[in-house]
Amino acid sequence: MFIIRFPIANRIDDLDDLGQGFTSAASLIISLDTDLLSILNLSLRVSLSAVFISCIIGFPLGAFLAYYKFPGQKGLVIILNSLMGLPPVVVGLIVYMLLSRSGPFGVFGLLYTPTAMIIAQTLLVTPIIGALTRQILEDLWFEYSDYLKSLEASKIDSMATLLWDARFSLATVLLAGFGRAIAEVGAVMIVGGNIDHITRVMTTAIALETSKGNLSLALGLGIVLLITTLIVNALAQLIRTKYN
């Protein structure tokens, strides 16, 4: 005896599964599931570390390119702007080759560790922070250059003044970098390996759990990631509205 299942029945089953998945996901979040918290903790540690390092590199680099004019400066700006669109999988591949056993840094054994993920995210975020910082400070220098020159401020003092005056705008740049880092999946998947309780972050866990059909944890992590992204964007908008 053959049983015929109509398309409408399939849709109802899918909706029931989806509803059950959302219910289970909400339960995981409310109960503070240990696996979910472990993944969230690692995601925040990796992304915040990468953004911190990127700011140390990107802010001075952006200030340097905004203030100093030298042969090749425009070329460096074009390269920096182009690097903002680096494909994550290409960055992951480059870092993988550098850190693999046959690579120049393979002796340190960093592949498939959180450190490798931080390196990959830093390479992705630094051009964004550097390019946006340069644009902000270049606009400020155009506005304040005559005033700073009249005070006979040194180059270091001028750059420090520009960085301080643009601190609220730079805070939005930092948040933009964090949003880029926390949502990245391709590079960290390649260099981290998505190892449970070692290198598994929210984006890689969502991809894995979805492929396994474990929608509860995937949806729970997706909701947390979405909330995190919304908070970051809301903070950036608040800073822009209040201080610009």
Q: What is the DSSP string of 45-94?
A: HHHHHHHHHHHHHHHHHHHHHHH---TTHHHHHHHHHHHTT--HHHHHHH
Phi and psi based region of residue 194 (left: phi greater than 0; alpha: psi -120 to 50; beta: remaining): left
Our separate counts of H helices and E strands in the chain read 10, 0
Rg (CA), the chain: 23
Q: Where are the domains of the chain?
A: 31-243
Q: How far apart are CA 226 and CA 220, in angstroms?
A: 10
Give me the average pLDDT of each 10-residue run along the chain (244 residues): 45 51 70 81 92 94 86 90 90 94 91 95 95 89 76 77 82 88 90 90 87 80 84 78 66
Coil, helix or strand at residue 32: coil
Q: In this structure, which amino acid lies at residue 240?
A: R
- Please answer whether residues 140 and 162 qualify as being in contact, where contact means their C-beta atoms are separated by less than 8 angstroms: yes
What pLDDT score was predicted for residue 8? Answer: 42
For domain 31-243, the question of CATH label 1.10.3720.10 is answered with: yes
Residue 87, CA atoms < 13 Å, CB-side half-sphere: 5
Q: How far apart are CA 15 and CA 111, in angstroms?
A: 41
What pLDDT score was predicted for residue 104? Answer: 92
What pLDDT score was predicted for residue 97? Answer: 95
